Amino acid sequence: MIASFLLSIGVVYALFIFLSWLGWKMTKSFSQERHAFETRVSIIVPARNEEESILHCLNAIAQQSYPKNLTEVIVSDDTSEDRTVTLVKDWIASHPLNVKIISSSGNMPGKKHALNEGIKNATGELIVTTDADCTMNSEWLPAIVSYYEKYSPAMICGMAAIREENNLLSAFQSLEQHGLTAIGVAGIYFRQPLLCNGANLAYQKKIFEETGGYNPSIEAASGDDTLLMFRIAKQNPRKVHFLKSKEAIVYTNPASTAGDFFNQRKRWGSKVLKQKNVASALAGLIVFLFHASLVVSFFLSSIGELNWHVSILLLGLKIIPEILLMNAMLSFTSKKNLWQYVLLSQLIYPVYLVVTAFLSQTGKYVWKRRTVR
């Protein structure tokens, strides 16, 4: 009875990963078309304690091959306690790009408030958000706007990837990020958006205003990007698109320590139960139940309460579809160096997921030197 239950969960999970692979494969790659751009763009960069990375981000934005007269950049400072504001002001003084910095300090500090303030001050038709620790190649913005002017979506979701992987921790994060991206793309393809990444997101300002923007008082401290996507998709899921383009990828650094990594994952996981989205909750439940079942099956097998064949079959239901998915993703991002970490990461992942799932729903986490409950 237990074996049948565990294997049933395994089959459902394998089907879920297969559908994620299918959604990724069926999403067409986009190549930008050179033409006379017409869209005024406002790039919003929320920043808190980013003195080590903000100038790299601004330099990458300044190198975009998009008309400067159609571009404005707003750095929305979220009560930084380091030299972020000073560095940005000095950078603005020595660069011709239309950049301004605003303070989002007040009764409601936080990323959502910083984004709201930035967008409130934006004059562009198209809002593009990225994080202060991200960089991108010079065709990032032209690719986004080219896609926008061709298809007129309400929201464009893009890919965020780890910049460089030089150890198991960074490789593990990169592989997980690839998997999450594929799941997000498949959700959009099947008209059931599940997740997106605010580090690489674009949407019409009027749609943002019509759907109520971000509400820091009632929403989770994390999840601003996904919650907005859900509201837009509720109006019309066909207006939420994923931009599958190598030119449109943004790159970020991995969490450098295990402590930072778990704090980041707790922050991500803290939003799951507050999203109130059936498809997203179901996807999260499938993933959690399967990996919890895998942990339970190996424990029961080790004490003689379950045949080892069941655990091996469950492991096969995980590894085979995930390798199919990773092959498609790593080929797209040209990160074949990650293959050496794939098998070990798959073995670590079940315990990691179960632990972080519980931790994310209890206690508090630290983000940018700020404790969030």
Model pLDDT for residues 216-271, shown as the tens digit of each residue = 544 455 557 898 999 999 999 999 999 999 999 999 999 888 888 877 777 766 66
CA distances from 42 to 118, 121, 130, 265, 321 (A): 9, 9, 11, 29, 40
Contact predicate 179/353, CB 8 Å: no
CA distance 221 to 162: 23
* Side-by-side strand order, sheet with 160-162: 134-136, 250-252, 160-162
Q: For residues 16, 6, 288 and 167, what is the CA-based torsion angle, rounded to 10 degrees?
A: -90
C-alpha to C-alpha distance for 287 and 13, rounded to whole angstroms: 7
pTM: predicted TM-score of the whole model, two decimal places: 0.91
Count the neighbouring beta carbons within 10 Å of the beta carbon of residue 331: 10
How many Å apart are CA 184 and CA 190, to the nearest integer? Answer: 10
Tokens at 236, concatenated: 């019309």
Cross-strand pairs, 72:
42
Measured torsion, CA atoms of residues 39, 43, 44, 47, in degrees rounded to the nearest 10: 180
Say what the pLDDT of residue 265 is. 77
Residue with tokens 């778990």: 262
Please tell me the distance from the alpha carbon of residue 148 to that of residue 70, in angstroms, as a whole number: 14
Whether 129 and 201 have beta carbons less than 8 Å apart is answered as yes
162 has which bridge partners?
252
- pLDDT of 63 reads 97
Residues 180-210: tens digit of each pLDDT: 999 999 999 999 999 999 999 999 999 999 9
Can you give the pLDDT at residue 263? 79
| pLDDT value at residue 274 | 61
Tokens of 84: 């972020």
Mean pLDDT of the chain: 90
CA dist 271 and 136 (Å) reads 27
Domains and CATH numbers, the chain: 2-23+277-359 (no CATH), 28-260 (3.90.550.10)
Residue 271 φ then ψ, to 5°: -90, -15
- What is the per-residue pLDDT across 173-185, written as a single tens digit (0 to 9) for each? 999 999 999 999 9
